[in-house]
Copies of this chain bind each other. A is one copy, B any other.
């Protein structure tokens, strides 16, 4: 989206990024530049350890400052991407200064006063709230594809397994995957520092804590709760298994969708080919379907393997495979899209 308000009288917004040196922070800077979000000042904030680093933005270098309670003076939009505890501690200071907070952590996602937004799915829930929550990466990628289907045919059940990349664990986990793989190929010992398991040529159940009663991990519970909230279906039955695979920055989702009634696979394909933020990659003759190697660095999520599910004799279930860049639609891009939507509304007022 290009925001063009040449007549707009007030100066362009001041934008802050908390966690600017992290994997998502870097992508936030790139997205703001690539999408030409209007900015009069970009304030990059991080821990004392990262203060003083210089990061490129629009041909200049911006010096990273240490995050403090006084960092938000004059800020219009503050992106938070430094974990839930930092958001809980510092977002109130940004709000007190009148900033609009867009929070990429899980801190406020289930707060009823905080909209949880994927613009393609539920932009209408973006109220005048001081904080807007950016969803979990799987929930964002998933609902971007599901919303146009749910609006047409009403989804009654979801069942999915994920193929999640290292970037969900930040730049350190991506580096651990690279270094562990290099060591594995060289037959060298490698002691993982970030993960409890070896990552090279391995897959494992998502590394979030497990609920001892239900046996579901934190990632799965987030996906269920946030997907229900974004789709506005608080009791939608959702089955999900979250698995980490050795890829760098794009998440895959193998998905079964049950609709209220039978929907033919061709109508699903047509609906998705028109959907914003979605690119159809569904070539049966060439065996070409969504892959992380095609999705990485792309704003659109890729959807394919669309077929009526042989496992549901009622004919109401469709299978899909979705891949989206975890750092873009799963994090930074969605956050910038939220800011764009908010900015446009101010412009319209």
Contact = CB atoms under 8 A, between A and B. Distances in A.
Nearest to A242: B254
B289 A205 contact: yes
Interface residues of A, number: 65
A256 B159 contact: yes
Contacts of A237: 310-313
B306 A215 contact: yes
Interface of A: 157-161, 163, 177-178, 181-182, 185, 196-198, 201-205, 207, 209-210, 212, 214-217, 224, 237-241, 243, 245-248, 252, 254, 256, 265, 284-289, 291-293, 304-313, 317, 319, 321, 323
A198 B311 contact: no
A321 B239 contact: no
Contact of A202 (B157, B181, B293, B308): B293
Nearest to A185: B182
A163 B245 contact: yes
A245 B284 contact: no
B291 A197 contact: yes
B203 A307 contact: no
Contacts of A161: 160-161, 241, 254
What DSSP secondary structure best describes chain A's contact surface?
A: mixed
Contact of A159 (B159, B185, B238, B323): B159
14 contacts: A163-B163, A163-B203, A201-B246, A203-B252, A205-B287, A205-B304, A205-B321, A212-B284, A215-B265, A216-B307, A224-B310, A239-B310, A241-B305, A241-B319
A289 B208 CA distance: 13
A254 B214 CA distance: 17
Given A203-B292, A289-B204, A292-B202, A307 B254 contact: no
A265 B210 CA distance: 15
The 9 A-B pairs of least Cβ separation, nearest first, read A239-B311, A215-B307, A161-B161, A161-B254, A241-B254, A205-B289, A210-B284, A202-B293, A237-B311
Contacts of A185: 178, 181-182, 185
Nearest to A292: B202
Contacts of A317: 239
A311 B248 CA distance: 29
Contacts of A238: 310-311
Contacts of A247: 201-203, 246
A113 to B, nearest CB: 26
A291 B215 CA distance: 17
